[in-house]
Structure 1
Amino acid sequence: MVIVTDPELVDMNFGTGAVKITPAHDPNDYECGKKHNLEFINILTEDGKINENGGEMFKGMHRFECRLQIIEALTNKGLFVKKSANPMRLGKCSRTGDIIEPMLIPQWWVDCKDMARRSVEAVRKGDLKIVPSHHEQTWYNWLENIKDWCVSRQLWWGHRIPAYKVVEPAPSSVEETVWVVGRSKEEAEERAKQKTGAASVKIEQDEDVLDTWFSSGLFPFSVFGWPDQTEELDAFFPTSLLETGHDILFFWVARMVMMSLQLTDRLPFHTVYLHAMVRDRHGRKMSKSLGNVIDPLEVINGIVLDGLLQKLKEGNLPQKEIKAAELLMKDDFPNGIPECGADALRYGLLAYTKQGRSINLDVNRVVAYRFFCNKLWNATRFALMKFPEGFRARGVETAAVCGSSKSEKGVLDWADRWILHRLSACCGATNKAIEEFQFADAVQATYNFWLYEFCDFYLEIIKPVFQTTDTSEAAESRKRGTLEVLYCCLDRGLRLLCPMMPFVTEELYQRLPPSAWKRDSICTADFPLEVVAWTNTRADDEFRLFSAVVKHFRALQVSLDLPPKERPDGIAGHRDPAFRAFLSQRAADISTVSRMGIVRVLWEGGEGEGSMPSEGPGAGADSGELGKCVKDVVSDQCDVFLDCSGMTNLGQTVSRIAKKIETAEKSLASYQKKASIPDYETKVPEDVRQMNAEKMATLTEELAGLRGAKENLDRIIAAAGAGTGAPNGSPA
């Protein structure tokens, strides 16, 4: 018996301070055996039984049976003291759950040091780019500490290792066994003859197969006929971009880079984009036993809860795990998964890439993008109804300068120039985001343009253009210009969305009227670029004011709980003369978009449609008129007033608002109570805390609007009861 001391392998304070060492059956013992030059004795057969090295008494026994027999043999000899349970880490087979027994088996290895060095240099020099860049450190950690790679596997499938053992002439010992490699058996036989000097040889190919990562590491060039120098290899190797998950950066990406450099002396690609890993909405890894696996097809096509539960039962989970998985499934998907479509799923996953290494997928967010698809469909179909029969787009610039008559020329209004500016900005932002692999930013840019700019404002502003009965040259010219801009927005906007939503955009693109630049498929159409000539920064400033006024008019109507058909008049005021002039020019558009009656703009010195105040945007106007209005402050430069003089039953409106205030206060108090519990920041998940914070912010803003509206109405009712107008400059 050999006794060695090893401070790393033994803890003197645990048990007796002595342990047996099995260098052939434990990774730690193997390292210890190499360090102390111990003999490596294998006692197991490949089917888990004891071989001759285990002693005649135990030879042929199953490993678990042998353990019991050893205890019995020690007991019979009076050597057994006791057995006790100690926690330890045991490797288990992921398929069968069986305990894994390490054992020494001859394997084929690859020395990776030089290949790894070249791969590290490629990234450091910038020849190979890894996106996101923080994964570069993982690349360095793996490759700068690389070890020899075991490439042989004892499996029934895979590329068989092209190594051949010489069996005749027979070697005198195992150590003298001759191995040769060859691309064919004939080539291997010739090498065996040269190596052994024999006139004839008999060889047998090794039954092991290559590690799957070795085979897949050859993929970039082997599929094009390598090692032959084919036309396909010249045309398609190397490629440009590899997209894959960050979890196989070393297992696959590094192996492709190393083997390409070694075998072709070229990098297989110049950029690697690593996407995040998809987890459930709580951030847990998707697992069958947890019951939180989300099948993309179920999100695309939808599935009821019973269907989800049935799939659990049809799997191979133990009954105990099925019950636990059912509880989680019912909690996460109480109503099943609604049908979302492939476009909404793709768009949603791209939006999630902002999270970095992991995507905590909440199906409800994908559902929201399904609603966006519906909005896109309805808005485009609505816009297509405005094009007259036989319309053929000529382009915004061409339409503005060409035509045999003035009516055939297109005149661009402020709204047209503004939406072209926003479309150009969206094109620039989307191109930049895609080039930099910031796909969440591309989603945000296109989403904001379509929903908040094109649908919410531009389509609403241009409705009167197509509803008017005016047939004058000016009206027809304006309509022609608007049609060209509308077509431009649809055409370019759909092309911007195409890589992220290929199906719905193709369907809508096919319905667009013809144009000289329209292609047979949106997939072959040019991707839109930023148009510098459309840049209009002044329009941005004007639109910010325009949208703010509209939003505040809308908020006042919501706060007052006005029915949808109610169209109260409004008044707007601004300190800056230029912006006052702009608001006056756009008063009709403000009325249209905010669903108001007549909107007037107050002017200084009593000129125009109303007088401006001596202090503040609305002071100095007719006090009786403003006294009947509910006021809201847009900014320190701008106020809006909603005329309540035509409204009836103000008392009932105040009562409804008071009930809303009470409900909102209770909701806000409940969230504030949750946030005040001890260890809230550590006990409550981050996504839940963020959701609660957003709800508190929304409720706080809602309460401010409701309270302001109630105070305004109370003032108006009090003034009406006293038979006087509200005092000039009274607070809103």
Structure 2
Amino acid sequence: MLEKTFDPKTAEPRLYEAWEQSGAFAPTDDPNAEPFSIVIPPPNVTGSLHIGHALNNTLQDVLIRFERMRGKAALWLPGTDHAGIATQNIVERQLAEAGNISRRDMGREAFVEKIWEWKAKSGGTIVNQLRRLGASCDWSRERFTLDEGLSAAVRKVFVQLHKEGLIYRDKRLVNWDPHFQTAISDIEVEQREVDGHYWHFAYPLEDGSGEIVVATTRPETMLGDTAVAVHPDDERYKHLVGKAVRLPIVNRPIPIIADEYPDPEKGSGAVKITPAHDFNDFQVGKRHNLPVINVFDDFAKINDNAPEDYRGLDRFAARKKVVEAFEALGLLREIEKTRHVVPHGDRSGAVVEPYLTDQWYVDAKTLAGPAIKAVEEGRTVFEPRNWDKTYFEWMRNIQPWCISRQLWWGHRIPAWYGPDGKPFVAETEEEARAAAREHYGRDETLKQDEDVLDTWFSSGLWPFSTMGWPDKTSDLARFYPTHTLITGFDIIFFWVARMMMQAIHFTGEVPFKRVFINALVRDAEGKKMSKSKGNVLDPLELVDEFGADALRFTLTAMSGQARDIKLSRQRIEGYRNFGTKLWNATRFCQMNGCARAEGFDPAALQVPLNRWIVGEAARTSQAVTKALDGCGFDEAAGLLYRFIWNVYCDWYVELAKPLLNGEDAAAKAETQATAAWALDVILTLLHPIMPFLTEELWVQTAGEGAARNHQGFLMTAPWPKLGEDLIDKAAEAEIGLIIAAVSEGRSVRAELNVPPGARPDLLVIEASPAQRDVLERSAPVICQTLRVASVQMAERAPDGAIPFVVEGATLALPVAAFIDLAAERARLTKEIATLASDVERTAKKLGNADFVARAPEEVVEENRERLAEAEAAKAKLEAALQRLSGVG
């Protein structure tokens, strides 16, 4: 017999260990099984499980468990990303705390070795946390982006793209983190709104005829100005275009140019142009062939390109000195306070600078063409479909991809430089030396490029490099292309697009057939989770509190909420209660001798209730299968919740009690067998979402009855295939009438405050002969579930009776003897008035365009929900009052 409650803390680790040791996570070696593969978006090796990971990996696990049970050779390939800047930062910080040691003190080789030591000790944290969530990855195939196999793939790709002219060196602006002294990607830049100033500076005209005023939030960059730009249609400045100003402090003449970039309506309409320190200015500079003067060094200190008094100053000290100098020169016209967005390094917290450096770039535009075409032609589809617009927008406006990073941890760029700076790109140093020997006619000392590759470069190869490419492995032949990628919308460009570009270029095939974009998880009010707000929900704490299954079901059930999932502890607790409901139903079945019968045939049942539950199981099985097949995770969860809680646990179990306790031995035996069969279907369908609870129930009920013999784990049991032939329309109509009568009767009792102990009769006023027959035969169960004294046929409803219609039949409950009619009318009238006031107030607020435009999105949505709930409650009470209107 089952324990009274399910204990996740003891069951989950026991079950997971059994699954993993059995080898059940690996794809079947049946050569006839259809392959189905997904690759995990590799979490950073530095990471720990956050709620976004929990959502993403739950959905992947639901899908892989579903396809595994459908008999496919299902592979979920796991792994982690070396996370260059994040990992290097952790080890550098530890070294500094341990003894104020810097990586440069240690040297590159010793420092990298120290990182490998850290990885061996701490790098598996998130992998173990995924196990706690129930992730059924094939851990025997686990990969790491710095594995030798993946590293070889990276070198091959780099060398080939370089030979094809698609990788090259260039001097361009990058996001520069002066704390780490490296270029960083856009995704590593955090835009923060801060208090700042616009300083309005006057630049005197070279001919002494006046001045032109520009405004800037970064006065220190004026040391690198090479022009002042005005809009060509701005009448105020047309006569100045082609003239020059004398750049204050620097004392350098710079031209006044006409360009579309300045906004005549903003500020003075004139802007300073600093091509080396602003992305927009860089483009203006290219259009007008302006000099590009970099005035910062790698630490964002002023370099030797600036006047001597400023050299070596930190940028912010230089800012203060520049402002003071303009004031002293009488050229500071105004200081205007402002709130503006400033880019910061997401890990260093340092203000990021647009910085001109030599870097390695990929010609992303050329690679993007085939990747765009693949989505246009439907070879890869996005779900939801609207995300392809985001993909196209990014891809059609793609810029050269900066792939070099000034770090020590990562894939070192396979380029070696000769004494004259000529690069030799090769997969190995030996090949580079051979190329250099051929070029110079002798052996020369070569020095390898100090930089490493952007981690997105190696993770962009993930779907095929993890399967052994460039070798022609059996995994590559069987499981590539992969089927579905599940990921967040924020990395469509950074990862999805780059996998598409590189996979098509190197394998000739798309890396995946479908991309499912999962939602973002926010708090219960719809706000972004952050430690500073104190609203972060830790998935591991939630697993400890409610069990992994409750969290998994919550995330799955809510995964269809567009971009955002509003997560709360109350929801997770509610779905834990759902699991408890199923546990208790299974205990009920055990206590009532429900066990699978040898040769049980669901198509041969005689009892209408049993034929009905079989039909409901078949319909649910078909709908859940269709939903999961189309990544309708939330729809599948909703279907299962309804079938398990409402249909099986509430109605079937309740309506089966008279049969299980009755004198008809044949009906009892059939009901016991049917209850067990339907429970097996439930456990199988629910398993992908709630694997621990269902596996435990499968194991615990395996020994019930000699005829019941579960073979192996539930996770490897076959997925139900239940046909339309099991849906019995006559049984549906019969049980539907009973359920409708009880449900509507309960509503009447609840709305009119009929005491629970009151036992009125249920009167059948008008009904077809078949309906009368059903209601008469079902009188015992109706009396028990509706709490009525009897079911009686009547010609009309007597005074004091509340009529109601179900399935075309008119029934009535005589309740006047049990309630105070006048008091009930007064109560309902008062509650309706209160709700009407709420509806009016909330509708007025939502009708205010200014409120809808200015209020946070979550506040507007909360008001919409409040209005809908109030309107529904008001309608329900008005219907109840209407029922009472005819009662004397």
TM class, shorter-chain normalised? 0.7 to 0.9
State the alpha-carbon separation in 1 of the partners of residues 267 and 497 from structure 2.
Answer: 44
- Summarize deviations over 1:622-676 as a string: whole Å, max 9, x none: xxxx53662322159422233569x6xx4x6547645743663464244235335
1:558-637 matches, within 5 Å, as 558-559=750-751, 561-602=753-794, 613=795, 619=796, 626-627=797-798, 630-635=801-806, 637=808
Picking from 697, 700, 703, the partner of 1:511 is: 700
The one-letter code matched in structure 1 to 2:598 is R
Using the TM superposition, name which of 87-96 and 242-251 deviates more. 87-96
Pair 1:397-2:581 in alignment: no
Pair 1:675-2:842 in alignment: yes
Summarize the Cα distance change of 1:239–1:71 in structure 2 as closer, same or farther, 3 Å threshold: closer
State the alpha-carbon separation in 2 of the partners of residues 393 and 453 from structure 1.
Answer: 22
Pair 1:164-2:331 in alignment: no
Picking from 556, 577, 591, the partner of 1:371 is: 577
The one-letter code matched in structure 2 to 1:369 is Y
State the alpha-carbon separation in 2 of the partners of residues 453 and 110 from structure 1.
Answer: 57
> Taking structure 1 as the reference length, what is the TM-score of the superposition?
0.79
- Summarize deviations over 1:336-395 as a string: whole Å, max 9, x none: xxx43322222222222232222233443333222222211111211221116xx55225
State the alpha-carbon separation in 1 of the partners of residues 330 and 754 from structure 2.
Answer: 93
Q: Is the 8 A contact 2:596 2:676 kept in 1?
A: no
Q: Displacement of 1:13 after TM fit?
A: 6.3
Q: Displacement of 1:433 after TM fit?
A: 0.7
1:440-519 matches, within 5 Å, as 440-468=634-662, 470=663, 475-512=664-701, 513=704, 515=707, 518-519=710-711
Which residue number in structure 2 is paired with residue 697 of structure 1? 872
The one-letter code matched in structure 2 to 1:499 is P
Picking from 414, 418, 423, the partner of 1:179 is: 423
Q: Displacement of 1:218 after TM fit?
A: 1.4
Q: Displacement of 1:530 after TM fit?
A: 2.6
Which residue number in structure 2 is paired with residue 638 of structure 1? 809
The one-letter code matched in structure 2 to 1:259 is Q
State the alpha-carbon separation in 2 of the partners of residues 571 and 134 from structure 1.
Answer: 54
Q: Displacement of 1:9 after TM fit?
A: 3.7
Picking from 722, 726, 734, the partner of 1:530 is: 722
Pair 1:40-2:40 in alignment: no
RMSD: 2.8
Structure possessing the higher relative contact order (Cα contacts under 8 Å, 6 or more residues apart): 2
State the alpha-carbon separation in 2 of the partners of residues 200 and 370 from structure 1.
Answer: 71
State the alpha-carbon separation in 1 of the partners of residues 371 and 265 from structure 2.
Answer: 45
Q: Is the 8 A contact 1:395 1:488 kept in 2?
A: no
Summarize the Cα distance change of 1:679–1:461 in structure 2 as closer, same or farther, 3 Å threshold: closer
Which sections of structure 2, spanning at least 5 residues, go unmatched? 1-252, 852-858
Pair 1:253-2:442 in alignment: no
The one-letter code matched in structure 2 to 1:47 is F
Which residue number in structure 2 is paired with residue 27 of structure 1? 279
Q: Is the 8 A contact 1:495 1:528 kept in 2?
A: yes
Pair 1:429-2:623 in alignment: yes
Q: Is the 8 A contact 2:603 2:726 kept in 1?
A: no
State the alpha-carbon separation in 1 of the partners of residues 466 and 535 from structure 2.
Answer: 37
Using the TM superposition, name which of 441-450 and 668-677 deviates more. 668-677
State the alpha-carbon separation in 2 of the partners of residues 560 and 55 from structure 1.
Answer: 87
Larger Rg: 1
Q: Is the 8 A contact 1:131 1:274 kept in 2?
A: yes
User: SS at 1:240's partner residue?
Assistant: strand
> Taking structure 2 as the reference length, what is the TM-score of the superposition?
0.66
State the alpha-carbon separation in 1 of the partners of residues 621 and 584 from structure 2.
Answer: 22
Which residue number in structure 2 is paired with residue 188 of structure 1? 432
User: SS at 2:801's partner residue?
Assistant: strand
Which residue number in structure 2 is paired with residue 415 of structure 1? 609
User: SS at 1:202's partner residue?
Assistant: coil
Which residue number in structure 1 is paired with residue 463 of structure 2? 220
Which residue number in structure 1 is paired with residue 531 of structure 2? 288
Q: Displacement of 1:267 after TM fit?
A: 2.1
State the alpha-carbon separation in 2 of the partners of residues 112 and 362 from structure 1.
Answer: 42
Using the TM superposition, name which of 513-522 and 140-149 deviates more. 513-522
Q: Displacement of 1:97 after TM fit?
A: 4.3
Q: Displacement of 1:551 after TM fit?
A: 1.7
User: SS at 1:548's partner residue?
Assistant: helix
- Summarize deviations over 1:172-227 as a string: whole Å, max 9, x none: xxxxx311112222122112223x23310211111211111111111112223332
Q: Is the 8 A contact 1:431 1:529 kept in 2?
A: no
Picking from 348, 351, 376, the partner of 1:124 is: 376
State the alpha-carbon separation in 2 of the partners of residues 229 and 575 from structure 1.
Answer: 72
The one-letter code matched in structure 2 to 1:631 is I
User: SS at 1:213's partner residue?
Assistant: helix
State the alpha-carbon separation in 1 of the partners of residues 821 and 320 from structure 2.
Answer: 85
Q: Displacement of 1:118 after TM fit?
A: 1.2
User: SS at 1:293's partner residue?
Assistant: coil
User: SS at 2:486's partner residue?
Assistant: strand
Which sections of structure 1, spanning at least 5 residues, go unmatched? 172-176, 302-338, 401-410, 603-612, 614-618, 620-625, 716-732
Structure with bigger strand share is 2
Which residue number in structure 2 is paired with residue 300 of structure 1? 543
Which residue number in structure 1 is paired with residue 197 of structure 2? none
State the alpha-carbon separation in 1 of the partners of residues 542 and 862 from structure 2.
Answer: 22
Pair 1:543-2:787 in alignment: no
User: SS at 2:720's partner residue?
Assistant: coil
Q: Is the 8 A contact 1:162 1:206 kept in 2?
A: yes
State the alpha-carbon separation in 1 of the partners of residues 466 and 809 from structure 2.
Answer: 67
The one-letter code matched in structure 1 to 2:550 is A
Which residue number in structure 1 is paired with residue 44 of structure 2? none
User: SS at 2:456's partner residue?
Assistant: helix
Summarize the Cα distance change of 1:161–1:576 in structure 2 as closer, same or farther, 3 Å threshold: same
User: SS at 1:47's partner residue?
Assistant: coil
1:351-390 matches, within 5 Å, as 351-387=557-593
User: SS at 1:281's partner residue?
Assistant: coil
Q: Displacement of 1:159 after TM fit?
A: 1.7
Q: Is the 8 A contact 1:664 1:703 kept in 2?
A: no
Summarize the Cα distance change of 1:699–1:75 in structure 2 as closer, same or farther, 3 Å threshold: closer
User: SS at 2:770's partner residue?
Assistant: helix
